[in-house]
Amino acid sequence: MALPVYASPLERIWHYTRLVICALIFLFLIAPILIIIPLSFNAEPYFTFTEKMLAFDPSGYSLRWYDLLLTQPSIPNDVPRDAAWWGQVWTESAWVRAAKNSVLIGFFSTVVATVLGTIAALGLSRPEMPYRRLIMAILISPMIVPIIITATGLFFFYSSPCALIGWTGLEPYCGRLTSSYTGVVLAHATLGIPFVIITVTATLIGFDQSLNRAAASLGAPPTTTFFKVTMPLILPGVISGALFAFVTSFDEVVVVLFVAAHDQQTIPRQMWNGIREQISPAILSVATILVVISIGMLATLEILRRRSERLRGVTPM
């Protein structure tokens, strides 16, 4: 990147112009995410920096919007915050309930997507796998198909999940999957699967199959080989796939909009309401929390990447 010694003056000017342009694009990428963090501590219900904030006057900043997250929709704010009050927050606060739902749905859909996805990735990366290209295309398609189409299709399917096997006479016993946790978890697992497949097959590309054969020749049954030899080596890929799957579920709103009911309200669903109706700075405090979470996820991934590079003997240049 350094400017070569033979660069002409014009090239020098262009070189620095280019750096400035790149800096501006980086600003475009990152500024919108960082700017909401200070704004979420605004003491006033505005979406812009007040004069007090710009002067770094402590009275311009407050935690009132974070407080609002705990007390919405109708928890008293002016009583002493004892155990009973916190208990009420835990059970009644709309945002806390949404957070619990998000974590619950995210956890189960991640487990389903990661377990099924990892096993399938093992099969897909074997050279003898038949119809590899077609199957891969099917498994990745939930990521490509527009989310509104997926949500609409699931809405019809969940309304009567057994309509297609009506001839068995089971249909009346099937019930519905709309307004159920199961429905949302299954849908989110499907949406997370492509990410698990992509990350795990990418890890398996560098995987030496002769290690498996070595384990087998030493008498290890396939399950032992998997847990003692394969798994530790592909673990970084599996974990990053699981993280992707979790984030996909944690961030998903359209399917929840279409197939879930009030009981399955998640954080994005709650944000969607907040943004559509009357956007209040409380949304910014949620957004800030989510940004902090994604910074944590990114850091985890980076650590994993470095670890796997070290294990494979690839040193960063």
Near other proteins in 94-113, by CB under 8 A: 112
Contact call for residue 55 and other proteins (CB under 8 A): no
Q: How far is CA 257 from CA 263, 265, 266, in A?
A: 12, 9, 10
Residue 27: other Cβ atoms inside 10 A: 11
Contacting residue, 29, 55, 83, 218, with other proteins by CB under 8 A:
29
Pick from 144, 219, 278, 313 the residue near other proteins by CB under 8 A.
Answer: 144
Report the residue number, 34 or 79, with the smaller CB distance to other proteins.
34
Closer by beta carbon to other proteins, 85 or else 272: 272
Q: Which of 48, 74, 210, 278 binds other proteins (CB under 8 A)?
A: 48
Q: Which of 103, 147, 162, 229 binds other proteins (CB under 8 A)?
A: 147
DSSP string spanning 94-117? HHHHHHHHHHHHHHHHHHHHHHHH
Using the rule CB under 8 A, which residue among 61, 85, 107, 155 binds other proteins?
Answer: 155
45 binds other proteins (CB under 8 A): no
Give me the least distance between CB of 19 and other proteins, in Å please.
8
State which of positions 227-256 bind other proteins (CB under 8 A).
244, 247, 250-251, 253-254
Mapped onto helix, strand or coil, the DSSP state of residue 42 is strand
Q: d(Cα 238, Cα 309) in Å, to the nearest integer?
A: 15
Per CB under 8 A, the segment of 46-54, 57-65, 82-90, 228-236 that binds other proteins is 46-54
Please report, as a single letter, which amino acid is at residue 172.
P
Site for other proteins (CB under 8 A): which residue of 13, 63, 138, 311?
Answer: 138
Please tell me the chain's helix, strand, coil percentages from 3-state DSSP, rounded to the nearest 5: 75, 0, 25
Write the DSSP string, 259-281. H--GGG--HHHHHHHHHHS---H
80, 81, 84, 89: CA torsion to nearest 10? 130
* Binding residues among 274-313 for other proteins as defined by CB under 8 A: 275-276, 279, 283-284, 287, 290-291, 294-295, 297-298, 301-302
Among 73, 74, 133, 208, binds other proteins (CB under 8 A): 133
Mapping DSSP to helix (H, G, I), strand (E, B) and coil, where does residue 61 land?
A: strand
The answer for residues whose C-beta is within 8 angstroms of residue 147's C-beta and 6 or more apart is 252, 254, 255
